[in-house]
Amino acid sequence: MKYSYLGKSGLKVSQLCLGTMNFGPETEEKEAFRIMDAALDAGINFFDTANVYGGQDRRGWTEEIIGRWFQQGGGRREKVVLATKVYNDMFDEQDGPNSGSGLSAYKIRRHFEGSLRRLQTDHIELYQMHHIDRNVSWDELWGAFELLVSQGKADYIGSSNFAGWHIAAAQAKAKERHFLGLVSEQHLYNLLERTPELEVLPASQELGLGVIPWSPLAGGLLGRNALAKTGVRSARSAKLEQHRSQLEQFSALCKELGEHEDQVALAWVLANPAVTAPIIGPRTIQQFEDSLRVTEITLDEATLKKLDEIFPGPGKPAPEAYAW
């Protein structure tokens, strides 16, 4: 496994990040334990979760599974760079009128402590804002996060689903306060969704954030055998039909390369210099093992050019992409 610094921090993380969103609803606990053990054996030290993972009726379930895995010992907790998130409603009656989504200092304090209990740990390496909260000032946000860092409960702060200007505003206010600020941005990015190349990726590179792409396989559309799947019509099947021509060309290119579609799609994301580690979200141990080859794949310039032709991006960052 290869490792990279997370943004401007001195923290080294594996170039693949283990996403745990399926643990509980899609992956039973025993299999989740096997996947996490296999991740450590493969050198993956970067695990991502969120307080709401577990399903609409069991928010927090995924963190609980990870907590029970940590309690098996064997250095499991010590070997993991743990990332979790805050923003969404946890349906906690004790929150009263402060329930719902948001990032008040009140919510950050309460939900952070809730994550610690479920994860059965006393600290979190990377605490991430799951979304932007436009009702909260950066003075309030940085005040709350600075306290967690000064108390030794969180090492670093990250964002997720932020616009480029949100990142710029956050870093400017952090600099005023002599605080490190954001070290990462977790963002939707894949061959079918290249909008982040306009603003988010350039802003992250300029301001010292490592980008952690989520859904690098576009919800499975860029996975192996995606074109062969049939069944009840759904939003996913509609997207498949919308992009069928591109996906057929992509599949043909992957066959020429002798690689599976999911591995090429992940390798393409990882080849971007703004990217620290794409998130893989395996439901089974087999899916996890299939992902490991990604760090061994190097896409040459000719292949990257073909991928640009199949999946055109903006071409340049803003404003050059549309103003010249």
Tokens of 300: 């040459």
Of the CA atoms within 13 Å of residue 157, those in its CB half-sphere come to 23
Distance CA 223, CA 247 (A): 10
Residue position matching structure tokens 């606990």: 29
Tell me if residue 297 falls in helix, strand or coil: coil
Crossing angle between the packed helical segments 301-310 and 244-257, to the nearest 10 degrees = 160
Going from the C-alpha of 66 to that of each of 80, 112, 120, 128, 259, the distances in angstroms are 11, 15, 8, 17, 32
Asked if 189 is an active-site residue, the reply is no
Going from the C-alpha of 150 to that of each of 37, 122, 143, 179, 275, the distances in angstroms are 31, 14, 11, 11, 28
Identified catalytic residue from 3, 53, 106, 189: 53
> φ and ψ at 184, to 5 degrees?
-155, 155
Contact 63, 69 (CB under 8 A): no
Which secondary-structure segment (H or E) carries 186? strand 182-188
Q: Which residues are designated catalytic?
A: 53
